[in-house]
Amino acid sequence: MKFDTPAGSNPIDQLKVIGQPADRIDGKLKTTGTATYAYEQNAAVPDAAYGYIVGAGVGKGRIASIDSTQAREASGVIAIVTYENAGPLAKGEFYVARALAGPQVDHYHQAVAIVVADTFEQARAAAGLLDIRYVAEPGSFDLAAAKDSATPPPPAGFGPPPQTSVGDFEGAFTAAPVQIDQHYSTPDQAHAMMEPHATIARWNGKQLTLWTSIQQINWGVRDLAKTLGIAKEDVRLISPYIGGGFGGKGTILCDAVLASLAARHAGRPVKVALPRPLMFNNLTHRPATIQRIRIGANHDGLITAIGHESWSGNLRGGRAEAATASTRLLYAGANRMTRLNLAVLDLAEGSAMRAPGEAPGMMALEIAMDELAEKLQMDPLQLRILNDTQVDPEQPTRPFSKRQLVECLNTGAERFGWQQRNPQPGQRREGDWLIGIGLASAIRGAPTTASAARVRLDRQGVITVETDMTDIGTGSYTIIAQTAAEMMGVRLERVVVRLGDSKFPESSGSGGQWGAASSTAGVYAACLKLREAAARAVRIDPQQAEFVDGQIRAGSQQVALAQAAANGELTGEDRMEYGDLSQRFAQQTFGAHFAEVAVNAATGEIRLRRQLAVCAAGRILNPKTARSQIIGGMTMGAGAALMEELAVDHRIGFFVNHDLAGYEVPVHADIPHQEVIFLDEVDPYATPLKAKGVGELGISGAAAAIANAIYNACGVRVRDYPITLDKLIGELSYPV
């Protein structure tokens, strides 16, 4: 099926199941500990040996020698794989990092060996007996030091163009009577998901099966086959439950590759789970940025020039952090410029992390907007509203399919009590605490990708949905079940959903805020096929058939849905593809973030007191699971604003705080109150369900709202994240 005209009225619009706050159908499995994650597939693979991966001990250099004599003689050891016996390995199409070092070491903790033994303890002990000698080489580990060597990256399949230009930015900025020209920085950040990267690999002849934690099954099959030099048809990936991904499990990484190699050498299945330090230094992360934002405006607040430049670093061949993405679309302004710059760094690969581009970019842009408002002596809320646009600022003939940014801002301002804000910083006080509130706009793309599904009807009237879509904790099982239940006219409990197996039809996968909208559209297409087959089976005109309360109806005819499968199971399978609507209309999600903080006037300690997000993201398929997604994004935004920072050792080249003791993330006590509001919206240009993704909108802008609240509280403007008390305390004045 091809979606190339705006959606009209269809069965989804009944909203009997879709749009309702259904509990997650996988919730009981998660809360009782019976959901089986990748490392826990003991029933499927009862005879697995254990693999332990050894990471490189230098940040840049080469392996001079590997002596595995003692390790091979250790108790329980079955096999050891290094570059010397691994065979040729290519790289996949998405990540540039090599899964196995040798002889060159590209970054600290790049895998140099995997040791396989009968038990985990034996594998770990034997790994410690490997004698690996390195020759260290000078490396580049400091973005600030490498900034001047950065160059525009080549165009990539993801993110904005490296450079954009509309009008005469330099001339308009120079002529603007009011100007902002500031630099901002964001640090390296870790995904730090609860479930570590883990894989069980089993060979059966040339057939390779992996139980692995991965967001994009289709990418994983493609990239693993290419890396190992085998046919895609010989690879099966299974990933029914995933304990968090945030972009860090987009496709296969070293756990999958090395488990596969180890299982081949051991002649039996091998299971691998990465220790936390390897998750931080071996895998991907959100790379640091240095950003320069220049905005010129008239005295009335209208933006006449807006420019955004960003510098980030990566392994050679890697992608730039797309921090300029939101600036291209968020505000009006005739004269515009964005520019990405990429330096080569010898740190672990920088890649996608929740809202790549928008999250770090808006951490800078939305502070700059507040700084411009202050120069103009204007309410930051009104400045944003004044510079709203209903067309793509770079292509004024291209309207937005839906854009309710102003409505989000006004709704949030009313609910949060924005009118009570004192525009003069440092004026509201409660004892030793200075109180402030801040806001930020939010924008995140609403892409869709092709997605397929298979839907089956059995003699009991039970609907089974099969698709290789994954659930990374976002509620995919539930919204897919809701889609099928709505389309087939049955109760939610009459739907069984099977996900995360490459044997199933290829879906969009989870990532890029495209998963929910795309995968449910694929289920919609498959259900249309099943509806037609079911109607014909009971001799009802498919064009007249209605599917209601477990029945097929047309006029005076009324037949139980189960009767359609009386002579055997019926199947509907289809793939949703997309036309040019996304080129004709700018498709984005919008929101507004508000935050209230308290800053201790004596110590600089920061307390986040409340957060509000108002979102416009098309039809909300399940307000309960969507709310959880926004709250998760807001919480990550709080972490980015106040605590998350990978500390880089610039001498050796590694992230020092490579565990959850040193890398701080927010906990419940850090964020006492969060509220989410969804505006009523359907977007017929998005999908047949008129829905968009929402999982990454919750982080976009959240950190900047907190930064602006801190400035309103104490009058200290911090432009280098995270905002910690040491960056405030020297600027605070405490009355004696």
Tell the residue number behind the tokens 């607040």, with chain if given: 301
Total residues found in the chain within this entry: 736
Q: What is the pLDDT of residues 561-584, one digit of tens each?
A: 999 999 999 999 999 999 999 999
Q: Are 142 and 187 in contact (CB under 8 A)?
A: no
Q: Compute the average pLDDT of residues 475-483.
A: 98
Cα–Cα distance, 291 to 358 (Å, whole number): 13
Cα–Cα distance, 237 to 5 (Å, whole number): 35
Under 8 Å CB-to-CB from 528, ≥6 apart: which residues? 1, 487, 572, 574
Cα–Cα distance, 429 to 63 (Å, whole number): 59
**Residue 4 DSSP class:** -
Cα–Cα distance, 417 to 613 (Å, whole number): 13
Q: What DSSP string describes 327-359?
A: GGTSS--SEEEEEEEEEE--SSPB---SSTTHH
Q: Compute the average pLDDT of residues 500-508.
A: 98
Listed range (158-167, 190-199, 309-318, 373-382) with the worst mean pLDDT: 158-167
Phi-psi region of 494 (alpha: psi -120 to 50; beta: other; left: phi over 0): alpha
Cα–Cα distance, 331 to 485 (Å, whole number): 40
- Is the confidence at residue 594, as pLDDT, over 60? yes
Q: Compute the average pLDDT of residues 493-503.
A: 98
Q: Are 40 and 195 in contact (CB under 8 A)?
A: no
- 84, 546, 696, 731: the catalytic one is 696
- Is the confidence at residue 95, as pLDDT, over 90? yes
Which of 220, 187, 425 minimizes the C-alpha distance to 291?
A: 187
Tell the residue number behind the tokens 């709250």, with chain if given: 631
Q: Compute the average pLDDT of residues 333-348.
A: 98
Report the mean per-residue pLDDT for the chain: 97
C-alpha gyration radius of the chain = 27
Q: What is the pLDDT of residues 46-71, one digit of tens each?
A: 999 999 999 999 999 999 999 999 99
Amino acid at 425: P
Under 8 Å CB-to-CB from 303, ≥6 apart: which residues? 295, 296, 297, 331, 332, 333, 387
> What percent of the chain lies above the pLDDT cut of 90?
98
Around Cβ 732, how many Cβ atoms within 10 Å?
18
pLDDT given at position 160? 87
Around Cβ 332, how many Cβ atoms within 10 Å?
17
Q: What is the pLDDT of residues 136-186, one digit of tens each?
A: 999 999 999 999 999 999 887 777 899 999 999 999 999 999 999 999 999
Around Cβ 685, how many Cβ atoms within 10 Å?
23
Q: What angle do CA 553, 559, 564 make, to 5 degrees?
A: 110
My answer on whether omega of the bond before 11 falls inside 30° of 0, hence cis, is no
Under the banding of pLDDT at 50, 70 and 90, the label for residue 434 is very high
pLDDT given at position 734? 66
Cα–Cα distance, 158 to 250 (Å, whole number): 13
Q: Compute the average pLDDT of residues 452-470.
A: 98
- Is the confidence at residue 736, as pLDDT, over 80? no
Q: Sort strands 49-55 and 270-273 into parallel, antiparallel or unpaired.
A: parallel
Q: 662 φ, ψ to 5°?
A: -95, -25
Q: Is 675 a catalytic residue?
A: no
Domain limits, the chain: 2-35+448-579, 38-138+193-275, 393-446+587-731
Q: Is 197 helix (H, G, I), strand (E, B) or coil?
A: coil
Q: What ranges make up the beta strands (E) of 149-212?
A: 163-166, 178-186, 198-204, 207-212
Cα–Cα distance, 461 to 467 (Å, whole number): 20
Cα–Cα distance, 237 to 224 (Å, whole number): 10
Instruction: Tell me the H-state helices in 44-129.
Output: 69-73, 120-127
- Is the confidence at residue 490, as pLDDT, over 90? yes
- Is the confidence at residue 388, as pLDDT, over 90? yes
Q: Which two tokens stand for residue 210?
A: 């992996």
Which of 568, 467, 449 minimizes the C-alpha distance to 511?
A: 449
What's CA 491's distance to the chain center, in Å?
Answer: 31
Cα–Cα distance, 482 to 274 (Å, whole number): 35
2-35+448-579 in CATH: which number? 3.30.365.10
pTM attached to this predicted model: 0.97
Cα–Cα distance, 44 to 49 (Å, whole number): 13
Q: Which two tokens stand for residue 189?
A: 């950040």
Q: Which two tokens stand for residue 705?
A: 């709202």
Q: Compute the average pLDDT of residues 524-529.
A: 98
Topology given in CATH for the domain delimited by 38-138+193-275: Aldehyde Oxidoreductase; domain 4 (3.30.365)
Q: Compute the average pLDDT of residues 430-457.
A: 97
Q: Compute the average pLDDT of residues 125-131.
A: 98
Q: Which two tokens stand for residue 666?
A: 């927010």
Question: Buried (b) or exposed (e) across 530-557, using 16+ Cβ within 10 A?
Answer: bbebbbebbebeeeebbbbeebbbbeee
Q: Are 455 and 530 in contact (CB under 8 A)?
A: yes
- Is the confidence at residue 383, as pLDDT, over 70? yes
Tell the residue number behind the tokens 């809320």, with chain if given: 381
Q: Compute the average pLDDT of residues 642-662.
A: 97
Strand ranges across the sheet with 546-548: 546-548, 551-554, 557-560
pLDDT given at position 158? 76
393-446+587-731: in CATH 3.30.365.10: yes
pLDDT given at position 735? 64
Which of 444, 387, 439 minimizes the C-alpha distance to 417?
A: 439
3-state class percentages of the chain: helix first, strand second, coil last, to nearest 5: 30, 30, 45
- The C-alpha torsion from 486 through 491 and 496 to 502, rounded to 10°, is 10
> What percent of the chain lies above the pLDDT cut of 70?
100
Which of 209, 257, 223 minimizes the C-alpha distance to 110?
A: 257
Q: Are 238 and 501 in contact (CB under 8 A)?
A: yes
